[in-house]
Amino acid sequence: MPAYQIRFSSGLPLKEWIHQMSIRLESKIPVHLWPKVYFTKGIRILILGKALKEGLLCHIRTTDVCGNQAECEETCQPAPENKSTGMFLESQGGGPIEMYQLIGVRDHKDLANKLMDHILTRLPEASVLWEKLTEDIASEISYHLFINELCGLTDLCQKATPRNLAEELVRDPGPDEVPANT
């Protein structure tokens, strides 16, 4: 089974990607499907972001040394589903890259299904949109999807310290991360 990664350039860190995806998804879910307590767009985006973060935390990992070995780039290639023209390899001049190994998922569609499960725990009425929303999530993931057969297998990877992604992603957002009552 291929070792999948999701990668982000320095201009789009994981946390911002989640926020942007939350904004896009919120716009596709009619207001009448939301519980009345989520009465503003900002709250709905925050709820979607929390669900996506929780889902991703179950299925990604990274360490303090991810990407520090030449082999990391030499064995990395865009997945066939990746239609992005972006540069996600530091050797291509894309600047620092955030990379995360996908764990416990078969591919980007499987990850999208698992993320949708997390969304439905907060928004069960959105199940009527399951197919469309899951397709949109899978499409978003595919732009950042790479295959790296060595990911997590080198000696350095085995000795590395895992980064605390929960601390990085689940902390309360700052005022600039929550849209105003729109």
Q: Where are the domains of the chain?
A: 4-165
Helix (H) or strand (E) holding 147: strand 145-148
Q: What is the pLDDT of residues 83-96, one digit of tens each?
A: 886 666 665 665 67
**Single pTM value for the model:** 0.86
Q: What is the pLDDT of residues 126-180, one digit of tens each?
A: 999 999 999 999 999 999 999 988 888 888 888 899 988 888 876 655 445 554 4
DSSP-derived letter for residue 174 is P
Q: What is the pLDDT of residues 35-66, one digit of tens each?
A: 998 989 999 999 999 999 999 999 999 998 88
Q: Helix, strand, or coil here: 175?
A: helix
Kindly list the distances between the CA atom of residue 47 and the CA atoms of 6, 35, 37, 122, in Å, as whole numbers in the listed order. Answer: 23, 11, 11, 8
Contact of 34 with 172, CB cutoff 8 Å: no
Residue 161's φ and ψ, nearest 5 degrees, are -95, 125
Q: Give the per-residue pLDDT at 182.
A: 43
Q: How far apart are CA 145 and CA 25, in angstroms?
A: 19
Reported in sequence order, the residue ranges of the chain that DSSP labels E, i.e. its strands, are 4-9, 60-61, 76-78, 97-102, 145-148
Instruction: Give the Cα-Cα-Cα angle 91, 74, 53 (nearest 5 degrees).
Output: 80
Residue 75, pLDDT > 60, answer yes
